[in-house]
Structure 1
Amino acid sequence: MTLNLTRIVTVSALAFIAAAVPASAATPEETAREVLSKTPVIDGHNDTPHQIAELFDRDFSKFDLKGLSPDILAKTHTDIPTLRAGYLGGQFWSVYVDAALPKHEAVTRTVEQIDVVRQMIARYPDVFVYADTAATAEAAMKRGKIASLIGMEGGHSIGSSLEILRQMHALGARYMTITHSLTTDWADSATDAPKHDGLSPFGFEVIAEMNRLGMIVDLSHVSEATMHDVLDKGKAPVLFTHSNARAVTPHPRNVPDSVLKRLPQNGGVVMVTFVPGFTSPERRQWEYERSAVAGRAKIEFTGNPAGEKAAVDAWIAAHPQPKATLVQVADHIDHIRKVAGIDHIGIGGDFGGVDELPVGLENVATYPALFAELVRRGYSKTDLAKIAQVNALRVMRGVEAAAEK
């Protein structure tokens, strides 16, 4: 009788592999959910309070976060079922107001937005718990609640007043984004003409006072010079609450490598965002070209708004808008890990603040899908936990420790 040696070796090898690999080996999706069930996401930026103001005039009798209609959810990207499905453990709720408002009106509107967050927490006490420190956030998550923190988006919200800054902190604001889309009297924005080459003398006073108060300095939206000024003089870790890597997508709202390289010394974190134009290089280029077309049409069809619109619409019809994707978001995470390290990455989706989101990240229920992609790329469970919440909590504790000094 002749033996088929090749067949015996092959069968033996397969048997060995089968024995070495558990029958219940976790899929990337299962691994992501396992990690997030223990260390749920702390997200740096969600604009649902702004949507509540815009859609419902801050009237909570007009809607119920326990289940929004599809058309409303398409704008907020957030309700209680999606928050739970997405393993959201903590949220910095943005209290954004228009950067072009007069100072006194910006201050008033910001206080009204803080009240929206306070009302939301009070109306759903089985879901949300107000948090203002790393310890209170951790305690809320241990109870299965969503730790709800307040982030003030834009230095215009303090009306160029340290007194108002202190009162915003007293009302619960735990970070302030130094600028929004426009340069302020004391800090340069990434998307407006510079006036100060970073921070003005008063701008440095603002940073020092935020460090003293224990308010996180958020460097999303600011110019590169402003970023470096804060890193030069600040005494506490910083956050970029919703920004990506500029080397991947060359948008001024993203963080350049020159700044990423400084984060290990500062201890700060870039909370990667899902904004399509900050995420996809193709989308960014498309937006740039569309703006150029719109500018030419405005000149060519002066006094003829219908003609102007028709020209832009014709260009868009001939050049379909590229979609950002979940995979591209992961590309930004990869780059930040390469340059700054795994300890300097978080998540800041900007849900509720954009009209469109990357394919695969359509609402807050989709966080697990992003973490599953990271598993496929070789990220460990420890890496996932750091990105989900550990890094953000470290920044919070670092800012609190700096204030105590």
Structure 2
Amino acid sequence: MHFDALNRRDFLKRAALAAGATAIPATAWSAVSARASALHQSAYVFDGHVHALDREFYHGGNITDRVDAGQWDLPRAKEGGVDAFFLSVYVPEEYYPARYETKQALRRIDHALDQLQKANPQLGLAMDGRDLTRLRQEKRIAAVLDIEGSYDLDGDLDILRALHRLGLRSAQISAHNWNQHYADACCSPAQWNGLTTHGHDVVREMNRLGMVINVSHSADTTMAQVIDASERPVIATHHGLRQVNDIPRNMSDALLKKLIDRGGVIGFQIGSEFAYPREYAWLTEHRKKTFWDTTSIPERTRGKTIYQIDELMAPSFPMLGAEVPDEVAMHIDDWVGVVDRAIQLVGEDAVALGSDFDGGPTLARGMRDVRDLPMITDAMLNRGYSEERIRKFLGGNLRRVFSQATA
């Protein structure tokens, strides 16, 4: 099911214009070395966070369509060497006040499953590590369903089990940037001091079902308590380091060490808001607010039906990165430098890719979209990284921990 009140042709025209306003000129695109290209294509590339179907849900079309607007579609993902990805089942806060979030989660899962079926034999649903192996042997890209904002669950274990039966294998433990009834989120005033008693029940049930517990968007207290309570490794699918940019959505050194000590992994969001303070400061100044400010939502959505909220949200997708001047733009080596800090702190077995493509990140200079993931491989080779370390980052670490969490 998707929102079809907006004409798809009109949408594509607007999206192309938007892309043209923010895209980097072709002359600025950075080619990669032959060695980097060969290594990247032979590696298992597993992206921990992609907004792969927001555009299609609200505006029509299929994941297999090459749109050349936004940052991700299946043809371009193939060009970028992607083997697997966490497909964000994204339910924004706009659906929360009227309590439409569970209904919207079901609509989004139904839409995702329909798209996966239409994309067969190019794409397949992965529910455990064996599926990752099988789908690669079949030369299909693997998609893992991951709810972004488990406000959808409201702590109801029956709903959790029902979504698991539909194929959901990962869920953020907190509700995007808002608190909910069992856990505090990163960007709301503390309400529960982390997890409630029922929040611990949710963690135990996710462990029992073999679901990935995703702590991105969680408060520090929530993350610490989840890591302690979980019997399986925990994943932060799209994050950054607070030592680099001191914002609530990034992770402190102490929490990162705690996550890794229990076998978890951190996926690095590819945008400058997380990884490059100079560009983040420029963006914040020009937006006149932080990117997690959702205070106006209740007033904007009061009294609206779910279909009216669809209409309200449609122009937001795909979520494109902002245009920034060259003098404040992040370079790909700046971003790899953040990953390098994490490696120096906790080692090469703890880091992964969590791009957040089409989720709003402003990409590094020269990076157009998912096609340019090999630029990361090139930058890592230029830093002297071994091929083994690069393979671990590109997908090996996330593949290992996903397999452990879902076993």
- TM-score, normalising length: structure 2: 0.79
Give the aligned partner of residue 72 of structure 2.
78
2:38 counterpart of 1:34: yes
Encode CA deviations 1:260-291: one digit per residue, 9 max, x unaligned. Answer: 11233211111111122112111222344456
Partner AA of 1:166 in structure 2: R
Determine the C-alpha separation between the residues in 1 that align with 2:361 and 2:122: 26
Give 2:207's aligned residue.
211
Listed one character per residue, the Cα deviations across residues 313-342 of structure 1 (whole Å, up to 9, x for unaligned) are xxx9xx999323322220111011011110
Alignment check: 8 A CA contact 2:101 2:151 kept: yes
Q: CA deviation at 1:292?
A: 6.0
1:87 corresponds to = 81
In structure 1, the partner of 2:160 is: 165
2:73 and 2:286 map into 1 onto residues whose CA distance is 33
Work out the CA distance in 1 between the residues paired with 2:350 and 2:237: 12
Equivalent pair of 1:160/1:185 in contact (CA under 8 Å)? yes
* Distance 1:29-1:157 versus aligned 2 partners, 3 A rule: farther
Q: How does 1:20-59 map to 2 (within 5 A)?
A: 29-56=33-60
Give the structure 1 partner of residue 126 of structure 2.
131
Residue aligning to 2:308: none
Deviation, structure 1 residue 28 = 6.8
SS at match of 2:145: strand
Q: CA separation in 2, counterparts of 1:39 and 1:321? A: 33
| Alignment partners' CA distance in 1, 2:157 and 2:36 | 43
**Distance of 1:181 and 1:324 partners within structure 2:** 25
Q: What does residue 143 of structure 1 align with?
A: 138
Tell whether the 8 Å contact from 1:346 to 1:392 is kept in structure 2 after alignment.
yes
Residue number in structure 2 paired with 1:6: none
**In 1, are the aligned partners of 2:171 and 2:212 still within 8 Å (CA)?**
yes
CA–CA distance in 2 between the matches of 1:234 and 1:337? Answer: 24
What's the CA shift for 1:380? 0.7
SS in 2 for 1:261: helix
1:338 counterpart residue number: 344
Unaligned runs of 5+ in 1: 1-26, 295-315
Q: Which residue of 2 aligns with 1:23?
A: none
Question: 1:307 is matched with which residue?
Answer: none
2:402 corresponding residue in structure 1: 396
Whole-Å separation in 1 of the counterparts to 2:101 and 2:157: 15
Alpha-carbon distance in structure 2 between the residues aligned to 1:292 and 1:39: 41
Q: Which amino acid aligns with 2:208?
A: R
- What aligned pairs does 1:377-396 form with structure 2 within 5 A after superposition? 377-396=383-402
CA distance in 2, matches of 1:343, 1:355: 25
SS at match of 2:33: helix
Partner of 1:202: 198
2:378 is the alignment partner of 1:372: yes
Question: What is aligned with 2:301?
Answer: none
Alignment of 1:3-402 (within 5 A): 29-56=33-60, 60=61, 65-68=64-67, 70=68, 73-74=69-70, 77-102=71-96, 104-179=99-174, 180-290=176-286, 322-354=328-360, 356-401=362-407
Structure having the higher helix fraction is 1
For residues 330-374 of structure 1, the C-alpha deviation after alignment (integer angstroms, 9 at most, x for no partner) is: 011101101111001110111111163222333111111111101
Q: Aligned to 1:349, what secondary structure does the other structure show?
A: coil
Give the aligned residue type for 1:40: Y
What amino acid does structure 2 have at the position aligned with 1:47?
H
Contact conserved, 1:106 with 1:159, CA < 8 A, in 2? Answer: no
Give SS of 2:188's match. Answer: coil
Instruction: Give me the whole-angstrom Cα distance separating, in 1, the residues matched to 2:326 and 2:47.
Output: 31
Q: Which amino acid aligns with 2:260?
A: P
Q: Which runs of 5+ in 2 are unaligned?
A: 1-30, 291-321
Sequence identity, in percent?
26
Greater Rg by CA:
1
- Structure 2 vs 1, CA of residues 28 and 52 (structure 1 numbering), >3 Å: closer, same or farther? closer
Equivalent residues of 2:80, 2:371 under 8 A apart: yes
Q: How many residues align?
A: 343
TM-superposition CA deviations, 1:200-237 (whole Å, max 9, x none): 11111111111111111111111111111111111111
Q: Is the 8 A contact 1:243 1:255 kept in 2?
A: yes
Q: Structure 1 length as normaliser, TM-score?
A: 0.79
What amino acid does structure 2 have at the position aligned with 1:65? T
Distance 1:321 1:163 in 2: 52
Aligned to 2:299: none
Aligned mates of 1:248, 1:231 — CA distance in 2: 23
The letter for the 1-side match of 2:72 is T
Q: Is the 8 A contact 1:272 1:329 kept in 2?
A: no
Q: What amino acid is the match of 1:380?
A: S
